[in-house]
């Protein structure tokens, strides 16, 4: 186990890191139009996936390398650095070749130590900064392990992204935030830039602000949010994407919260706590249901 991560490049503390852009790069026009709108909104990094890790085949799997050319144009024309997801060493090479300086590891990649190890080796020879999303399942060690593998390979420009954890069944969130795991991770890797992906936690536009608000309340360094010029036409994650103007609205509420003082804050805090409470109540009800089913089975089949 590593004793410390002292020399990880620290996050900026003066301004929040706002990463925004579409789930996927779909066309040059969609990318450039979204980027143009976001470049006026103080966005730190422009995100777009060009290789999409779909859980099941047969869905949109990304446009591939040509999307990197569009991201290069974003950097040149709008002065925003771009970031994309990498999952293989070929992705890393292509990303660097197209002049990108940042990439993230998706939740499915973080779950695979073989993949992470290979990526770590390839990244050690580059200058790319890398954000590690939490794994799909609530296993803090997989997340810590991925960061540790990268660190041991010499990667120092490292950040982490909390995107929630999958669970079986229907719930309020697409991925459960399980804030306690994220906070525990952060304590174990102090000083790492820590971002909340409020889009993949929420899974729907309505929850984006309350998740963002909770994250900023907990002292996260910033947010990753999916923004699409026409969310209804998005080829992936359409339900959770918002327009640039909805994004601006969300950011201004977050910024107001960070500055404190506005009366809206109390309402918003109350709403966030109510959301958390409702989620816990659903979980408690589920657990109670499971308990009574187990009791019945035990009584009927084993205790005569």
**Chain positions contacting ligand PEP, by CB under 6 A:** 23, 49, 53, 106-108, 133, 163, 200
**Which of these segments, 28-36, 162-170, 217-225, 229-237, binds Mn ion (CB under 5 A)?**
229-237
**Which of these segments, 18-26, 35-43, 217-225, 294-302, binds Mn ion (CB under 5 A)?**
18-26
25 near Mn ion, rule: CB under 5 A: no
Q: Minimal distance in Å, beta carbon 164 to ligand PEP? A: 8
The nearer residue to Mn ion, 81 or 237, going by C-beta atoms, is 237
Instruction: Provide DSSP, 112-160.
Output: -HHHHHHHHHHHTTS--EEEEEPPSSS-HHHHHHHHHHHHHTT--SEEE
Contact positions with Mn ion (CB under 5 A) in 259-298: none
d(CA 216, CA 210): 10
Which of ligand PEP, Mn ion, none interacts with 120 (beta carbon under 5 to 8 A by kind)? none
Burial of 28 (0-12, 13-18, 19+ CB in 10 A): middle
| Cβ-proximal residue to ligand PEP, closest one | 106
The conformation of residue 301, written as its DSSP 8-state character, comes to I
26 near Mn ion, rule: CB under 5 A: no
The nearer residue to ligand PEP, 118 or 255, going by C-beta atoms, is 118
- Contact flags string 134-173 toward Mn ion, x per CB under 5 A: ----------------------------------------
d(CA 272, CA 255): 16
Residues 6+ apart with CB under 8 A from 79: 39
Tokens 């982490």 — which residue? 160
Tokens found for residue 17: 């890191």
Q: Minimal distance in Å, beta carbon 160 to ligand PEP? A: 12
Extended beta strands in the chain, E state:
17-21, 45-47, 81-85, 102-105, 129-133, 158-162, 193-197, 222-226
Cα-Cα-Cα-Cα torsion 43, 247, 62, 232, nearest 10 degrees, comes to -160
Q: Which of 26, 148, 221, 237 binds Mn ion (CB under 5 A)?
A: 237
23 near Mn ion, rule: CB under 5 A: yes
The nearer residue to Mn ion, 52 or 149, going by C-beta atoms, is 52
Residues near Mn ion (CB under 5 A)? 23, 237
């Amino acid at each position: 186990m590593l004793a410390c991560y002292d020399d990880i490049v620290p996050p900026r503390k003066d301004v929040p890191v706002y990463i925004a852009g579409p789930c996927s790069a779909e066309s040059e026009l969609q990318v450039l139009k979204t980027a143009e709108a976001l470049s006026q909104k103080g966005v730190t990094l422009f995100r777009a996936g060009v290789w999409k890790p779909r859980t099941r085949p047969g869905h949109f799997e990304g446009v591939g390398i040509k999307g990197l050319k569009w991201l290069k144009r974003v950097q040149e024309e709008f002065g925003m650095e771009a970031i994309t997801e990498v999952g293989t060493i070929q992705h890393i090479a292509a990303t660097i070749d197209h002049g990108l300086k940042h990439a993230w590891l998706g939740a499915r990649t973080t779950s695979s130590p073989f993949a992470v190890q290979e990526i770590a080796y390839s990244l050690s020879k580059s200058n790319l900064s890398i954000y590690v999303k939490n794994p799909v399942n609530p296993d803090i060690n997989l997340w810590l392990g991925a960061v540790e593998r990268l660190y041991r390979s010499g990667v120092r420009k490292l950040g982490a992204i909390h995107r929630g954890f999958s669970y079986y069944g229907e719930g309020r969130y697409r991925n459960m935030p399980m804030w306690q795991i994220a906070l525990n991770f952060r304590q174990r890797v102090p000083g790492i830039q820590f971002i909340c992906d409020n889009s993949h936690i929420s899974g729907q536009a309505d929850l984006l602000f309350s998740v963002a608000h909770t994250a900023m309340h907990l002292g996260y360094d910033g947010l990753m949010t999916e923004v699409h010029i026409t969310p209804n036409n998005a080829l992936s994650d359409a339900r959770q994407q918002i327009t640039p103007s909805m994004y601006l609205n969300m950011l201004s509420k977050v910024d107001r919260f960070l500055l404190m003082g506005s009366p809206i804050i109390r309402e918003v805090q109350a709403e966030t706590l109510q959301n958390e409470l409702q989620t816990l109540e659903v979980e408690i009800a589920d657990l109670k249901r499971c308990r009574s089913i187990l009791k019945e089975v035990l009584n009927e089949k084993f205790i005569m």
